[in-house]
């Protein structure tokens, strides 16, 4: 459909190095783009950059040199950054789900996994074993393995949730009355009073 536009009129005059540099830049952007859109996006970006170079050359009355070309490309931005703007989903877990992810991670790893190893699995393996230090070492490595596997599984689940359509429905479903009761703290009361006194 679309051909990569490579102007011969201006860059050709300034030698192969500037053309080569521009192609390198476009190639680097292309690498980070979604495969199906690569050709389209690069053709459009290439046309824009060529037009900028052409305008600059008209202004200067001579072909652009390497430094001038670099200035144009630097203004456009780093290839990864330029390509990333074309991607819709750049977050593994977005800001809405992240607090829940953090909470689940903390509960599972710190409040479940660690106590289970310290109170149940650790003593059950280490105490009857001889020599004990060998069992201790083995349990220690198993503990770390379990920790990373659990964290990995939780991350994958949340990454899938992040990409599911039902995520927003989940956030819409909440009942005021089913929220946990607020603790009656001095500080909490005083803050409320402060807010009320402002209004």
Partner 1 sequence: MWYIVCITYCMATGTAASEVFENLRLELRRGCLIVAVLAQLRTEQYGYTLRKALADDGLAIDEGTLYPLLRRLESQGLLASQWREEDKRNKRFYRLLPEGEQILGQLLEEWKSINASLERILQEAGGV
Stretch touching partner 1 by CB under 8 A, among 78-86, 94-102, 156-164, 173-181: 78-86
Out of 11, 49, 69, 113, name the contact with partner 1 by CB under 8 A. 49
Tell me which residue of 44, 11, 8 sits closest to 26, measured CA to CA.
44
Contact 39, 31 (CB under 8 A): no
Does 48 engage in binding with partner 1 (CB under 8 A)? Answer: yes
Does 11 engage in binding with partner 1 (CB under 8 A)? Answer: no
Least Å from the CB of residue 194 to partner 1: 22
Does 146 engage in binding with partner 1 (CB under 8 A)? Answer: no
Q: Using a CB cutoff of 8 Å and minimum separation of 24, what contacts does 65-69 make?
A: 65/14, 65/18, 66/17, 66/18, 66/21, 69/18, 69/21, 69/22
Does 33 engage in binding with partner 1 (CB under 8 A)? Answer: no
What single-letter DSSP state applies at residue 199?
-
Does 76 engage in binding with partner 1 (CB under 8 A)? Answer: yes
Task: Please state, in angstroms and rounded to a whole number, the distance separating the CA atoms of residues 139 and 122.
Answer: 6
Out of 13, 17, 20, 44, name the contact with partner 1 by CB under 8 A. 44
Tell me which residue of 64, 150, 62 sits closest to 109, measured CA to CA.
150
* Binding stretches for partner 1 (CB under 8 A): 1-3, 5, 7, 40-41, 43-45, 47-49, 51-52, 75-77, 81-82, 85-86, 88
């Amino acid at each position: 459909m679309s051909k990569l536009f490579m102007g011969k009129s201006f860059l050709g005059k300034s030698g192969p190095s500037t053309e080569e540099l521009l192609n390198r830049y476009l190639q680097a952007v292309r690498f980070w783009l979604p495969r199906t859109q690569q050709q389209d996006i690069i053709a459009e970006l290439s046309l824009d950059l060529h037009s900028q170079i052409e305008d600059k050359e008209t202004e200067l009355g001579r072909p652009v040199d390497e430094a001038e070309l670099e200035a144009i490309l630097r203004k456009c931005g780093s290839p990864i950054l330029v390509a990333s703007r074309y991607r819709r989903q750049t977050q593994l877990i977005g800001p809405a789900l992240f607090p829940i992810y953090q909470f689940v991670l903390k509960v599972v790893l710190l409040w479940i996994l660690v106590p289970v190893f310290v109170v149940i699995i650790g003593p059950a393996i280490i105490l009857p074993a001889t020599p004990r230090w060998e069992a201790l070492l083995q349990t220690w490595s198993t503990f770390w393995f379990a920790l990373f596997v659990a964290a990995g599984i939780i991350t994958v689940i949340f990454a899938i949730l992040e990409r599911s359509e039902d995520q927003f429905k989940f956030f819409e479903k909440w009942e005021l009355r089913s929220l946990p009761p607020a603790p009656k703290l001095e500080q909490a009361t005083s803050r409320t009073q402060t807010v009320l006194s402002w209004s």
